[in-house]
Structure 1
């Protein structure tokens, strides 16, 4: 697959960062239109930008490094969406809910980008692990989990709880992308119920006791009901 060739004027001195950004943007657009990353060769990206293929390698050592840059850019977009969704929330639990819903919404709106960033094997494993853990999206979610702990809503290791809440949002998004024909009902409502159940479970866990077994949980629930 290739985009129509565009003649590009010679770049001015010092415009390398701009060209690098244009390459990433073009790669993201082509990846969104493709079924998989293998369908987007470096040559197609070069044609879309209007440069020669060797020009791409002046900014990226290989295709895997370009894909890693695309993944980093996807996480930045995801963070922007999460922050915007939680802008008017006044409680940590409200922000956590808004983050989770925005996460699922972003994944469903950008399935190919989400697949590349989270569902495909890491283009550069060591780089991507650092980028994910230090991404603004992950940091904001962990900071909000820490606020929930400080407010007495959750109890436990904030990193572990953040991974658990992320796993729930990711599970909803991945399932709805992979199996869109299943009877989920309205996507936002399904995501909200699932995220709410996970948050309630996390909140109740510390009240029931450490590592509760099914019997302990059943007894605790019976005592809560009239």
Structure 2
């Protein structure tokens, strides 16, 4: 979206179009974040100028800059929710669904690095709309899949929330590195992400087979002992 010239006034919105202005404000703030890559460069005044309204018009929708940025990030997570839902469609197994969801998360991050950095690596505010949206969207998708894997007996029974947080930590770690350090020798980004996600997904299966109390040495001994089973 191109900035409006300072002399250009936004046409008076028709009655009942407050929701449209709300969306335009979010679009403008998002564009400014993408263009500048910095929260500091986004202000109520700069957003108002881009939309073509006065700053008081922004305050009718958002109490302050923090509330506006929270709304931008919350909408980001809503779009991530959609991407992860689409990724799950057409997968043949529940394990494939989990892998696809993790990859969708990473892909969305590297496609919109500035927004991902702000939404997930910026200073958080407990109880914000951002956390509420994440808890009711992307995280729920992952947790439902993890719970399904436990129900199917593929993953060991346990706390699905805890395992989901481990999975999310894995996906976020990969995404954060790809966003913050893209010059590292990752190779093809999504292939790298897929290898890491595959290691986590299959690792949970192994834990179920050998027990959650097994040590690293126990795991190695089990692998050596069962190495020839499939041969």
User: What is the TM-score normalised by the length of structure 2?
Assistant: 0.92
CA drift of 1:216 comes to: 1.7
2:48 corresponding residue in structure 1: 46
> What are the within-5 Å matches in structure 2 for residues 99-110 of structure 1?
99-110=101-112
Distance in 2 of aligned mates of 1:196 and 1:27: 36
RMSD, matched Cα: 1.5
Distance in 1 of aligned mates of 2:116 and 2:132: 18
CA displacement, residues 8-29 of structure 1 (integer Å, 9 cap, x when unaligned): 1122222211111111111111
Aligned counterpart in structure 2 of residue 189 of structure 1, from 188, 191, 208: 191
> What are the within-5 Å matches in structure 2 for residues 56-95 of structure 1?
56-95=58-97
Q: Does structure 1 residue 4 correspond to structure 2 residue 4?
A: yes
Aligned residues: 223
Query: Which runs of no fewer than 5 residues in structure 1 stay unpaired?
Result: none
Aligned counterpart in structure 2 of residue 19 of structure 1, from 9, 17, 21: 21
2:149 corresponding residue in structure 1: 148
Query: Which runs of no fewer than 5 residues in structure 2 stay unpaired?
Result: none
User: What is the TM-score normalised by the length of structure 1?
Assistant: 0.94
Distance in 2 of aligned mates of 1:30 and 1:211: 50
Aligned CA distance change for structure 1 residues 130 and 211 (closer, same or farther; 3 Å): farther
- Aligned residue for 1:117, secondary structure, equals helix
CA displacement, residues 104-132 of structure 1 (integer Å, 9 cap, x when unaligned): 1110000011011111112x321233222
CA drift of 1:3 comes to: 3.1
CA drift of 1:138 comes to: 1.5
CA drift of 1:80 comes to: 1.4
